[in-house]
Structure formats: C-alpha cells, structure tokens
Structure 1
Amino acid sequence: MTAPRPLANAPTRDDLQVVTFGLGREVFAVPVVLVREILDYQMPSHVPGGPAHFLGLTDVRGQGVPTVDFRRRLGLPAVEPTLATRIIILDVPLPDRTLALGVVIDRVLAVSTLSGARIEPAPDIGTAWRGEFVDGVVREAEGFVVILDVARIFGSEDTVLLPAEV
C-alpha cells in the first residue's frame, strides 16, 4: 500500500524553528528569526506615561529597549518575577520599521523545530485567543503550543484575549 499523495492545490507550511515559552499553564511560540536574545530578568527603568503593559526600558548593550509585560499585553493578570522569568528581546517587523522590544515572560521552555505538517490554523471558536493574533497551533501531548503573530500583537492596541462570557 502506498502513502496518500498530498493534494496538488493544498497549502503546505514549511517547518518553523521557534522559541517556546510559558505564561502560567499556557505555552506559546515565536519564530526564532524574530528573537535577538534572551536575558535574565532585570527590572526595567520606569518611563511614565505608557500603556499599562509597558514596564519601561531595559539596557541591552547600551541601548534602551522598550519592555512590556507580555501577560498584561495578552490580558492575563500580572505576577511577580521569579528566578525563571526572562526577557526575550524581539525584532518585531512593523509596516514602517523593525521594533526592538523586550518581552517579559514567565519562563523559556525550548528552541525547537515545528513540523509544518503539524501546524494547524488558528481555531476560530472555542479558544480565549483572538484568531488574528495567532499564526497557528500545534498539538502536543501536554496541550497546545500557540504560535503568536507578534507583529499584529505589538502593532495594535486591540485586546488579544476575547472578553469573558458573563
């Protein structure tokens, strides 16, 4: 018996190398090509007047990099930093420029390659995350890995989490 051939017009995804990280029990991924470096947590220097998720500036080799609390940006409750807390320095592609941005996350999990065949489209129902901020999901034994579209998340002030049903 031969293996089924893929449909000629079926969209295919390339394998994707990602950095996976955790926020609480949720697991997220960003493409490794956007990650400049990963730093141990240090308290950013406060800059007044920003949105609630903006923490201030982090010194990265003499450059002040705007730093955000990713939990707050996603609409999750803030938590105190732990020994596992990290700042991922991302180069976020925006329409008019590339934004260097520090993103505070609970913990880094791994750098890995996700098979393009395993990446599913973002679900449009049954999830707390707005689909336009998700590039795809991958099923793992422990749950789902949510691949984020960081350009949309940080290029917009829209709420990333859907409002809770009352």
Structure 2
Amino acid sequence: MLIRRFLLGAMFAALIAPAATAQEMPVYFEADGAALAGYDPVSYFKGDAPVQGQPKYAVVWKGAEWHFASAENQEAFERDPRAFAPQFGGYCAYAMAKGILVSTDPLAWQVVDGRLYLTHSPEIEQMWREATAEYIRMAEAHWPVVLYEQ
C-alpha cells in the first residue's frame, strides 16, 4: 500500500498542469476551452453521475465554455454560477491541498456541503475521500495563492 501511494504520488506530481497566471486561467479547462470536459456542472447536483452537456446550451464564464444538458440547467448556472462551478477553479482539490495545480477528471468528483470538488483520477479521488474535510481545509489555505504564484 505504501509503495502504491508513493507511485501514485510520483505520477501525480508529473501531471502538474501547465503554469498560468490568474488572469489567463482562473478555471481549469480542456484545450478546446470546455470546462469539465463538457460535462454539465448543474448535473453533479441532480443525480448520481454527471451528464455530458451540449454545445447548443453553452455559457462563457471565467474564460471557459460551460456546457449544459438542458436550457433549464443553463439558466440555473447563469443565475448563480458559483453555486455550481467546481471549487478551486476546477483544478484537482487533492493537489490543491498539497499546494499544486493539477488537471482533473470530471468523473472523479464529490459534492460536499453543496460544493463540487474534482480530483485528477479515480485513484486520487479514493485518497481524497480518506480525509476529505482535512484536504478541503488545506486546499482552501492554498487557494488562490497557488494560482497567483504560477
């Protein structure tokens, strides 16, 4: 188990997201500009799994394009985007707890106290879930300082 964690940690460190300034990239998004790889941010709060959004229901917010599965979800996001957007700009919450920026897998997630947290992978998500409250506290202490240091 210790060796597995070491190897995951080493892999994780190698996957640090490209450097960015807060002005350039306050939200993590894919090369095509889609936040959450096109998944509907509102859907994370409505069911057991996120739903892929459609480009016809899209909003540009914080430099990224957010896709929605329906006009209803798009309207909900437009009314209050911070209620649905992932914490830490959509960067990996576990990595933010360690003070680094790392990409995320939109299928490795958790909603805690009405907030969406993403992690880099299902394996990292498992480690995140072992001490979620502590990792949230640590990540909040690093955010947005880590973003500005890039």
Question: As a proportion of its length, which structure holds more strand?
Answer: 1
TM-score, normalization by structure 1: 0.29
Higher share of residues assigned helix: 2
Q: How high is the TM-score relative to the length of structure 2?
A: 0.31
